[in-house]
Structure 1
Amino acid sequence: MLYLDGKLLAWLVIINNAKWIFKMPKIKTVRGAAKRFKKIASGGFKRKHANLRHILTKKSTKRKRHLRPKNMVSKGDLGLVVACLPYA
């Protein structure tokens, strides 16, 4: 077994003098989250507002205009987004 900073990186298996190295599995990115959130230089994530996809005729112009600009992910939800995007 190969360790680095206390983390297991790979297994070394020897059977009948044959050696195999198995690397630890990579963490998968949640693809839905990757399409919805973008990381910015300060370390936060930007996101799009909800309620701007359909049934727009009954929403006022002011409401739709205020939903247009991007928003930041709040501190309470930041941990969930980071867990979904391990390589962002």
Structure 2
Amino acid sequence: MPKMKTNRGAAKRFRKTASGGFKCSHSHRRHILTKKTTKRKRQLRSTGLLHPSDVKSAARMLPFV
């Protein structure tokens, strides 16, 4: 049986929480920031939680995390 491998793209994007969920950073923070409000940019700085429907696929991509 071959070795299980971690999906390296997913490993750079997600971190596992103590309760079994996954933290991820928000999108829309890279460019075209002048038209976005300061409040919106500030809230995008914080990490968010992955939607519960996506947790199963993230856990499959990160078997050792």
Fold shared, TM-score > 0.5 on shorter chain:
yes
**What is the 5 A alignment of 1:17-32?**
24-32=1-9
Q: Which runs of 5 or more structure 1 residues have no equivalent in the other structure? A: 1-23
Q: Indicate the structure with greater strand content.
A: 1
Aligned to 2:42: 65
TM-score (norm 1): 0.69
SS of match in other structure, 1:25: coil
RMSD of aligned alpha carbons? 0.9
Aligned letter for 2:20? Answer: G
TM-score (norm 2): 0.91
Q: Give % identity.
A: 57
Aligned to 1:41: 18
Query: What is the Cα deviation at residue 70 of structure 1?
Result: 0.6
Query: What is the Cα deviation at residue 29 of structure 1?
Result: 0.9
Aligned length in residues:
65
Q: Which runs of 5 or more structure 2 residues have no equivalent in the other structure? A: none
Higher-Rg member (1/2): 1
- After superposition, what is the alpha-carbon deviation per residue over 1:23-80, rounded to whole angstroms, capped at 9, x for unaligned? x211111100000000111111100000001111111101101111111111100011
Aligned letter for 2:12? Answer: K
